[in-house]
Structure 1
């Protein structure tokens, strides 16, 4: 659970920093106010997909112990974090090129698409792990339910 807390905090710092970069980089380069650049999307992706989603996962982990499916949970973390980082990095790269008046390449869009696919794969794995955790009774709860049904008091 500490890893989720620290990862969420790291995304919060990265999200705020990317917002600051967006604001200052566009000012520094006299980029027209109101004109679109993907730098603002990086700020949003890091805060929403990194910070907020991982806080929700932390709450679900605390409630359902999703990590009891260790392999699934590890796959989720790796896939999801790789996707968020890759997508955000491509948004920053593409947005910076826009501000500098340079052309982007299809490679950047392709890598960003790969990042989104990794996020999606991570979420699918997360829901498989969540389903297992929700539908499989915890060992302690299972014993308490068995004791209740047997007519003996549970501790």
Structure 2
């Protein structure tokens, strides 16, 4: 649970810094057009902070952190997110700079797409973990109908 909290906090700080960086960098460069830097703030806050806070709440009810795949799933997801926002930063800085990119645009898009694929893999693993935990609770409720968890689910 502490790891999920720390990840949410880290993405919060990075997301807030990205928002300030976008505002100040474009102002400093005199840039007024569209840039990928403008979406980094919301990507980090939504995909970094909110996802980890939701997982933190789900962990409380389903003990996700006790599952053997959970730690790997979290790090796969975060690796994909980090790659995605890194490439967003690269593309955004190139858009503001207006110079010749060191990589072809298709290469940047391809690497960003790889980041999205890695995040999707992490999410798939997280859904596997959640499914296993939900099934475990359902089996426990069928085996012991008088348990507190069975009473909670029947009152919903």
When normalised by structure 2's length, the TM-score is 0.85
Aligned to 1:95: 92
Give the match's secondary structure for 1:102.
Answer: coil
- Distance, in Å, in 1 between the alignment partners of 2:81 and 2:146 is 45
Structure 2 gaps, min length 5: 148-156
Aligned to 2:54: 56
Offset, 1:107 = 1.8
Contact 1:15/1:46, CA 8 A, preserved across alignment: yes
Partner Cα distance (1:36, 1:103) in 2: 17
Distance 1:147 1:113, change over 3 A: closer
1:137 partner SS: helix
- Deviating beyond 6 angstroms after TM superposition, the runs of 4 or more aligned structure 1 residues are none
Shift of 1:66: 1.3
Task: Determine if the alignment matches structure 1 residue 20 to structure 2 residue 20.
Answer: yes
Structure 1's unaligned 5+ residue stretches are 150-155
How many aligned residue pairs are there? Answer: 144
Secondary structure class of the residue paired with 1:10: helix
Q: Distance in 2 between matches of 1:76 and 1:15?
A: 22
RMSD of aligned alpha carbons: 2.1
Whole-angstrom distance in 2 between the partners of 1:74 and 1:12? 20
Q: Distance in 1 between matches of 2:98 and 2:58?
A: 44
Please state how far the C-alpha of 1:67 moved relative to its aligned partner.
2.1
Measured after TM superposition, the shift of residue 27 of structure 1 is: 0.3
Moved more, 61-70 or 78-87: 61-70
* TM-score normalised by length of structure 1: 0.85
